Each structure stands twice: as C-alpha cells, then as structure tokens.
Chains A and B, each alone.
Chain A
Amino acid sequence: MALPKINQIAGRAVYVPGDDIDTDRIIPARFMKCVTFDGLGEYVFYDVRKNEDGTDRKHPLNDPKFSGATILISGNNFGCGSSREHAPQAIYRAGFRAVIAESFAEIFFGNSTQLGMPCVSATHDDIQALVRALQADPDMTVMIDLEMQRIHFGDVSISCEIRETNRQALVGGYWDPIQDLINGEEQVEAVANDLAYFRATAD
C-alpha cells in the first residue's frame, strides 16, 4: 500500500500559546478509556477548552475566527510527557495536518511522523512573527514546504526545521514504516536466532 508523499501542507492556522504543553493537556487521561482512536478529536485540549460543566472557556480552539484550522502552532517542548499516541491522534482527528512549534518532545514527534502529520520547528521570533500575522488576518493561508523547509504566509517566508530522516520519510511517502519492516522478515529471524534469550521460553 503506497503512502501519499507529503511535500506541502497548506491551510489556515491557529496558535495555542505556551511552553511544555504536555500530553495530559492535549488529551486528558480519562478520554483514553477507549479501544479505538475514533472520536478522540472531540476531546483535544478538553480541560483547557471546557469548563467543568462542559461549557466553552476562552481558548483559541473555541474561537470561531480560527475554526477549521488545519495547522497548529505552539511553543517550546510541545507534546512532552507520555508516549500515548492518543495525543497526536486527537490532534489529527480534530482536523490538524501539521504542527509548528519551537521544539517537540521526542516520542510525540515520532508518533506524529508515523501518522503523516509533520512537526516542524521554527525559532521563537519567527513563530511570533507568524502569530502576529495570523492575529491580523485569521483567514490567512499558511503553507509549510517540507522540500525547502520554509513556511510561507502572506508575502513572508520563514525557515523551519525537521529532522532529516523524518523529513525524507514524509516527502518520500514512507512515513509509516510497517511495510518496510515486514519486508525485513528473513533478516529479523536471523538476528532473533542469534539471541539466546529470544529463543528461550519460560519453564
């Protein structure tokens, strides 16, 4: 099954400010009681978006000006905390197709890539410039170019970074490695057979 090549992502964007936004904030643990990821999108950032009685709080994701945004913008160390894929899944299923932040936590970054949702980093100042432009024109289109590692908006463009292996995986259309891993079957068996503990079974 060939995967689409992800070269460019364009769409409207929304800014969720803050550093160290952790996976508990992205999807509170109580919403992880599920046996499929379907429906998680509804609960993204739930506790910061909603009051305890379920009514909306003031939050960029509740702001009609930004509804329908497909690019999420945030601060430093985005996605830190747990390895739960529920976090990137919730973001993806809420309609986002890319995240721009100053930096990302390792596992979140890898999980997102494997979903085909690029996480690109830009400097604090560049992100602030992007945010100012966005606030002036919420309908503005933001375009992430993974080939050139640039982000375009209005008539401005800023540079962005993404780890080279992950970038290539996205633009080359092999961001989900499952088929490639399956193809290695024979070599896997050889390596496994060399490991005594792997062959052993319990008494």
Chain B
Amino acid sequence: MGKSLFQKVWDAHSVRRLSNGQTQLLIGTHLIHEVTSPQAFGMLRDRGLKVKYPHRTFATVDHIVPTNESLEPYSDKLAQAMIEELRKNCAEHGIEFFDTNTGKQGIVHIVGPEQGITQPGTTIACGDSHTSTHGAFGAIAFGIGTSQVRDVLATQTMALSPLKVRRINVDGKLAPGVYAKDVILHIIRLLGTKGGTGYAYEYAGEVFDNFSMEERMTVCNMSIEGGARVGYVNPDETTFEYLKGRPYSPKGAAWDAAVERWKNFASDPDCAYDDVVNIRAEDIAPTVTWGINPGQGIFVDENIPAPADGKTQSEREGISEALEHMKFQGGEPIKGKKIDVAFFGSCTNGRLSDLKEVAQYLKGRKVHPDVQAICVPGSQVVAKMAEDLGLAQIFRDAGFEWRGAGCSMCLAMNPDKLVGDQLCASSSNRNFKGRQGSVTGRTILMSPLMVAAAAITGEVSDAREVFGLLPEPVGA
C-alpha cells in the first residue's frame, strides 16, 4: 500500500514520540509576523532560551502595516511598537526580516511562495491560521498558536498528533467566470465549516491539475475555513516551474536533485485515504456568502436561505442570527444588494494573477460613484510588478484606491476599516461579525472578478453578466 504526501512528509520530519503520546515533528520552515511572535520571543526571554535554527525562520510584517502611509513613525503608536518589536527580535536572534524597506515585505503567505521559501515535501509553521496556503506546493503547513511559535523558535519542533487525510477530487472543467475562490467556497458550503476537523485536505482532480500555483494557493488558503488545519496539492511540473529561479529556490545541480526529491513526495496512486469526496466542476457557479461564516455560501443567482430552510434547530438559529446581522430577509435574492465598499486583496486573492485576471475586464470601466473601492496588493513584489505591467494604472483609472502591501481590510488591524453597517464585497476569506473593523460591518466573500463586478455596478452582481462571460443562448 502506498502512502499519501501527508504521511511521507510526516514520516520524514518525525523526531520521536513524546511522553504525552504526541509526535515531536521537525518544522523545516518557520514564518513569523508581528502579531503572534512578540509574546513568543518574550516567553523565550523569560526562560533564557535562544532561537535554535535562526536560518530556518523568516519574518515579515503584514497585519498592522498601514497601506496609505509608508513613513515611520506610523500615526498608530501601537502599530509602530509592534513593527519595532519585530525588528528588534529579528536583529537579536539573527532572523531574516523582509522589512518594509526591502521591496519584499508583504502578507506572509504571499511572501513565502514568491521568495521560493515555500517548497514541496517540507513542513512549515506560522502563527497564523492561513498557513495552510503553503500546502499548494505539496508542503504540510500548520497554523499555530503563540506558545507553539515559542516551541518552534526554541527547538525547531512542535508536539502534534497526526491528521487523517480526505481527498477532494474536483473533475471536469470550470465554466468561464468561475474561479478557484468559487471552488473552495463551494467545498466549504458542501462539507461545512467544521467538516475538516481532524483532517488534512488533499485537493486533486483535473481542475487542480490545470490550476496555476496561485489558484492552488487560493484554495489551500481557505482550508481552515472548512475546519481543516492543513490543505495541500501534490507537487507537479506546475509547482517546479513556479519555483524555478526564485531567490530561495535551489540552484544548479541542487535544483535537479531537489526536483527528484519533490516528485517522490507526491501521494502514491495506490494510497488509501480516510475519506474521498468527488465534486463536478460543472456544478460550481460563482459563489458568494450571505451570512457570518464562510460556510454560509450560495451561488450568486440563488436566494438567501430563510430560517425554515435549516435542517436542525441550531442551523435555524444560525440562519436567523446571520440574517439579523446581515440585515437580509430569507428568500430574497442576494443579487442586487447595494454595496458600500469593494475590497480587493488578502492572502486569498491578493496575488499578481488575481490583478491580471481582473484588469483585463476592468479596463475602460468605472467604479460606481457610491462605492469605495480599494485594491491592496499582497506584497511589495506584487505591487511593483502590477505597476510595471500597467495593471495598477488600470485599477486607478477605474476608480480603485491603489494601496501599499499588507493585510489591510481583511481583518482591519490597521486604519482600513468598515464604518457602521457598511456592506463590503470582499475577496478575503472571513466574514465573521466585526471582522472588517466595525462591529456591525457586513462582509460578502467572493472571487476577485465578482468584487470588480460589484464595484462597477454598486451591487452584488453576476460577473459573468457584467463582463459578458455567459455563453450566447442557443438560437440567438
């Protein structure tokens, strides 16, 4: 019987069994940022510990950086204190820091891949739940808490129990206007926000074989929204092609050896899975959320559910609570809901490919006068390339505010926030109450092209209609 990629990577990084029965697992690559690391460095200091392998930790700053001012000190003193703390900790422990003046700063889950730090067959940890993103490369990547950040800094290992593996096959072809974001929103809608508890998700099938690395990252990113701590795609030529020539990728003979190793980490064809789910690509349409968790999704042409649609009492209560927060009525269409803000960015959809895809449709169009539209590139590298390729200008011309790299309004730890009960069409990954900085703020998750469509029309719209992507009706 063959082994899954999860099993192979796990085995290659297992150190020993701990007295509590868990496995001590070596973490090959540790990524840190300003929000969840300072307390961990504090814990190290309290215990007189050092960073064990500083060359395997990489830092950047993303959550709190303002996207509309670049000069320090920032107007927000707490933000300034946090960036300084990270600078100090990195300098003291000899950790590479992609600071704001390096041209490489950005959202940690965008920086790792674009620098070639994220590689197949490795274990990655970061004090951030969207670390699952890195699984797109065939890495096993865990979001961890701060005490575990401390563990990894001090020992380069952490205590873990193995996960089960669920293979999710998406076969067939996605229709025009249907994107990776729709695939993952659809998966979460089907399997639920806790369907993945205890599992690693292995994404496979024709759709994933054809996906670019950026698209694979979008799906893996939101594994955690489906309750799965880890999500991954087996490495293939697309993966190797992406990594070739990146700053931290192996070079020369080491490259060839690495590719050989990486190939061997892919799941064996005869490996057994704890669960298998099959989905048809043709069944997926542009998906939007209507509620307050990412599992509350519908196709854009469906109606918002009513409490009576819930199968259990708790589901009915969940629907009522969501409708109350969203100020929606059960049974009405989601299409046509007036939006106030369009947010384009985040570690889910803030990459160059997202900007490219949307720019081709945005060209020559204008954001609706009632909408504040902001576009936040995921990293300084993305920002520079978008500028060089003229994409940034297309966004600006359309009426988007073009910002500096960071997490921005994805969770509003910086000045980018919703106000009052504004409704936001967002390319990010979480629609929890209060997520975008206002307690009563409302978020609708969707693909970047759907965000652009909403920005232009001023309401939730089917991007396929707005941009002419629907097939001509037969006989027309």
| Interface positions of A (Cβ within 8 A of B) | 18-20, 22, 24-25, 28-30, 32-37, 47, 52, 75-77, 80-86, 88-89, 103, 105-107, 110-111, 114-115, 124, 163-166, 168-169, 172, 174-178, 180-182, 184-185, 187-188, 191-192, 194-198, 200-203
Contact = CB atoms under 8 A, between A and B. Distances in A.
A181 B227 contact: no
A200 B250 contact: yes
Contacts of B185: none
B191 interface: no
B251 interface: yes
A192 B251 contact: no
A198 B15 CA distance: 14
Contacts of A191: 13-15, 26
Interface string B36-78: 1011001000010100110110000001100000000000101
B35 interface: yes
A131 to B, nearest CB: 14
Q: Which of B20, B38, B64, B248 has the most CB of A within 10 A?
A: B20
B314 A35 contact: no
Contacts of A76: 194, 314
Given A84-B36, A165-B161, A47 B439 contact: yes
Contacts of A182: 49, 154-155
Nearest to A50: B439
B234 interface: no
A128 to B, nearest CB: 11
A181 B154 CA distance: 9
A47 B20 contact: no
A197 B119 contact: yes
B79 interface: yes
B466 interface: no
Interface in B417-454: 430, 432-435, 437, 439
* 5 tightest Cβ-Cβ pairs between the two chains A and B: A85-B145, A111-B145, A35-B38, A83-B143, A83-B129
B81 interface: yes
Interface residues of B, number: 85
Interface stretch (B253-261, B351-359, B378-386, B468-476): B253-261
A22 B49 CA distance: 33
Contacts of B78: 33-34
B279 interface: no
A198 B28 contact: yes
B19 interface: yes
Given A47-B439, A84-B145, A19 B317 contact: yes
A176 B20 CA distance: 10
A89 B149 CA distance: 15
B154 A107 contact: no
B433 A196 contact: no
A179 B253 CA distance: 40
20 contacts: A24-B433, A28-B434, A29-B411, A33-B76, A35-B39, A35-B82, A36-B39, A77-B194, A83-B224, A85-B39, A107-B229, A110-B145, A114-B145, A165-B22, A181-B24, A182-B49, A187-B24, A188-B155, A197-B122, A197-B250
B12 interface: yes
Given A30-B413, A85-B146, A192-B156, A75 B432 contact: no
Contact of B26 (A75, A178, A188, A203): A188
B85 interface: yes
Contacts of A77: 193-194, 227
B169 interface: no
Contacts of A203: 247, 251
